[in-house]
């Protein structure tokens, strides 16, 4: 855990303590379970986003992909009666295809990630709305998928199963990002893509892989969100979720220029965001202020982090000068 991550953790604990002091229901089992479920859902897609951001890219279509794939998933199992495991695999495959196309357009056709994924954001939202004819996708009365519902919305030992899934995914992705050859390539490309290429790394493939990972994780969270809300109106479902993911990554110490950030950081960033949402509800702050609170906290967080860096650099310089003065012979 880096110092940055530790600072974020302390911030989460302090905010939690303050909220508990004002409204003890913060620590109630039901509130914690609900919040951890949301942390899981947003955490999974934020991890995906983190893999893209580390290469210096961005994925803006996340929210629309969640709407489209969620709609398709419910349609597959509720209307077209596809068996849910098959539908599950199909949706993940679709997510990977979307990621691959984005990565291909960015690396082979040299389009900017912002542009490609912005177009994705518009296209997938439109397709989702068209698919349901602007209606709502949902289950018919009495339709039940016990195993699927248990895996997505159920609990084991009091923990939401989605949260357990997040932990497993986080551990696997931590190893991939921080210990594997592929993870090292991601960082190298994020720091300096040209130099990575000159070192014989197939940078195009690595970047495409990052978008595929993002696509698959987004698809997975799309299924979780679909099973969480159980009915989807594609016009609004998942809106702004890409921004939650980007915000979580930025709070977690990622640089949008690429090459910086840790997996623990993005998870902690997600936790803090959900804690803030929860705080708005529990403290009776008008929920219309929700986004304003989030934006304010992110801005302050980034500002403090940056100023702290400046302060430390200055202190180091003063320290060095002092040693210098003490060490120099009196002439």
Partner 1 sequence: MGHRLLPRAVNYGVMTSTDSTQPIAAPFLSLEAVRKTYPGVVALDRFSMDVRPGEVIGLVGENGAGKSTLMKILGGVTRPDSGTVTVDGAAHDGLTVEQSIGSGIAFVHQELNLFENLDVAANIFFGREPLRAGPLRLVDRAKLREMVASLLKRVGANFSADAPVASLSLAQQQMVEIAKALSIKARLVILDEPTSSLPLAETEKLLDVIKGLKAQGISVIFISHRLHEIERVADRVVVLRDGTLAGTLAKDRINHDEMVRLMIGRMLKEREKAGEAARAPGSVALSADAIRTGTYPDRPVSLELRHGEILGLAGLVGSGRTELARVLFGIDERLAGSVTLDGKPLDVGSAADAVANGIFLVPEDRKLTGILLDLSIAQNISLPNLPAHARRSLVSASAELATAEKQKKNLGIKAPSVLTRTGTLSGGNQQKVVLAKWLAMNPKVMILDEPTRGIDIGAKAEIYGLMRALADAGVAVLMISSDMEEVIGVSDRIAVMHEGQISGILDKDDFSQENVLLLAVGKKPKLLQVAGGAQ
Q: Which residues are near partner 1 by CB under 8 A?
A: 175, 179-182, 184-185, 187-188, 191-192, 194-202, 259, 320, 323-324, 327-328, 331
- Least CB distance from residue 212 to partner 1, whole Å? 16
Nearer to partner 1, 25 or 202 (CB): 202
Query: Which position has the token pair 């060490």?
Result: 327
- Least CB distance from residue 305 to partner 1, whole Å? 18
- CA distances, 137 to each of 69, 153, 219, 229 (Å): 11, 18, 17, 11
Query: Which position has the token pair 């200055």?
Result: 314
- Least CB distance from residue 73 to partner 1, whole Å? 31
Nearer to partner 1, 167 or 320 (CB): 320
- Least CB distance from residue 82 to partner 1, whole Å? 34
Q: What is residue 160's DSSP assignment?
A: E
Give the number of other Cβ atoms within 10 Å of residue 145's Cβ. Answer: 16
Give the number of other Cβ atoms within 10 Å of residue 132's Cβ. Answer: 19
Give CA–CA dist 324/303, Å, rounded: 31
Nearer to partner 1, 288 or 324 (CB): 324
Kindly give the residue spans of alpha helices, DSSP state H, lying in 230-289: 241-251, 263-282
Nearer to partner 1, 148 or 206 (CB): 206
Longest pairwise C-alpha distance within the chain: 92
- Least CB distance from residue 298 to partner 1, whole Å? 25
Classify residue 164 by burial, with Cβ atoms within 10 Å: 0-12, 13-18, 19+: middle
Nearer to partner 1, 150 or 198 (CB): 198
């Amino acid at each position: 855990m880096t110092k940055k991550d530790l600072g974020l953790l302390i911030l989460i604990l302090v905010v939690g303590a303050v909220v508990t002091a004002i409204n003890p229901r913060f620590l109630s089992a039901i509130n914690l379970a609900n919040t951890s479920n949301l942390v899981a859902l947003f955490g999974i897609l934020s991890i995906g986003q983190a893999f893209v951001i580390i290469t210096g890219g961005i994925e803006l279509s996340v929210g629309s992909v969640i709407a489209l794939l969620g709609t398709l998933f419910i349609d597959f199992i509720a209307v077209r009666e596809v068996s849910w495991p098959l539908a599950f695999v199909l949706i993940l495959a679709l997510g990977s295809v979307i990621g691959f196309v984005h990565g291909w357009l960015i690396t082979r056709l040299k389009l900017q990630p912002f542009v490609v994924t912005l177009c994705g954001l518009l296209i997938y939202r439109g397709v989702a709305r068209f698919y349901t004819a602007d209606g709502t996708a949902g289950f018919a009365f009495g339709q039940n998928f016990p195993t699927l519902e248990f895996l997505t919305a159920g609990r084991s030992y009091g923990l939401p199963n989605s949260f357990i899934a997040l932990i497993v995914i986080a551990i696997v992705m931590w190893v991939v990002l921080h210990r594997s050859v592929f993870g090292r390539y991601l960082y190298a490309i994020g720091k300096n893509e040209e130099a990575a290429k000159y070192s014989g790394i197939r940078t195009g493939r690595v970047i495409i892989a990052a978008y595929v990972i993002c696509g698959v994780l987004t698809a997975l969270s799309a299924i979780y969100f679909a099973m969480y809300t159980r009915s989807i109106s594609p016009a609004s479902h998942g809106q702004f979720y890409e921004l939650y993911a980007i915000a979580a990554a930025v709070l977690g110490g990622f640089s949008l220029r690429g090459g910086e950030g840790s997996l623990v950081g993005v998870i902690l960033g997600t936790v803090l965001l959900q804690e803030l949402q929860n705080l708005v509800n529990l403290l009776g702050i008008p929920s219309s202020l929700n986004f304003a609170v989030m934006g304010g906290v992110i801005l302050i967080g980034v500002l403090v982090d940056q100023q702290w860096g400046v302060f430390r650099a200055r202190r180091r310089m003063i320290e060095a000068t002092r040693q210098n003065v003490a060490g120099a012979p009196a002439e």
